Amino acid sequence: MAESPSNGEFSLANLLPVEAVAAKVEAADWREAVTASGDLLVSTGSTTPQYTQQMIAALERLGPYIVVAPGFALAHAQASDDVLRTGMSFVQLAEPVAFGHKKNDPVRIVVGLASKDHSAHMAALKELSQFMVSKEKMDELASAESSEALAELLGINKQERES
């Protein structure tokens, strides 16, 4: 992971490693979709498995508040010791799933967010919001054929990271 920029904020490319991007993920329900995003956070060293359980518990307690745009969920929980470092994951579901949101269901994209504080991830979320507000961009993300294609659409391809 890159060092924290001087303003304390990370870009999408800083927080979302290509290894945390997955296409065509099978999920029978919202719990499996959130678990998939959490598993990627764990595998890239951002969180412990308990953080994934905290994300699910928050949804059970508060409802589908994480479904922030049509077809898009931002899975997260409160900062805790189970967040090892600020990071993100990106899951494109093979088939959309319902989260129980009256207006924005079904969900096709689940982004996992783990943050050590309340501000480090804001620049990345601002970049990500550019995709959420564009139906065309959301359709491109939802129909990408591979994790590599998703990473390229998101502007986080491996070649840029290695240079």
Say what the pLDDT of residue 27 is: 98
Of 38, 18, 39, nearest to 148 by C-alpha is 18
More confident residue, 123 or 10: 10
Check whether 119 has a pLDDT greater than 70.
no
Check whether 149 has a pLDDT greater than 90.
yes
Say what the pLDDT of residue 128 is: 79
Q: For 100, which DSSP code?
A: S
Say what the pLDDT of residue 160 is: 43
Alpha-carbon distance values, 36 to 5, 128, 136, 153 (Å): 29, 19, 25, 20
The 10s digit of each residue's pLDDT in 2-61 is: 434 444 467 788 889 999 999 999 999 999 999 999 999 999 999 999 999 999 999 999
Say what the pLDDT of residue 31 is: 98
More confident residue, 159 or 16: 16
More confident residue, 71 or 126: 71
Q: pTM higher than 0.85 for the full model? A: yes
CA–CA separation, 159 vs 163, rounded Å? Answer: 6
The 10s digit of each residue's pLDDT in 63-112 is: 999 999 999 999 999 888 999 998 999 999 999 999 999 999 999 999 99
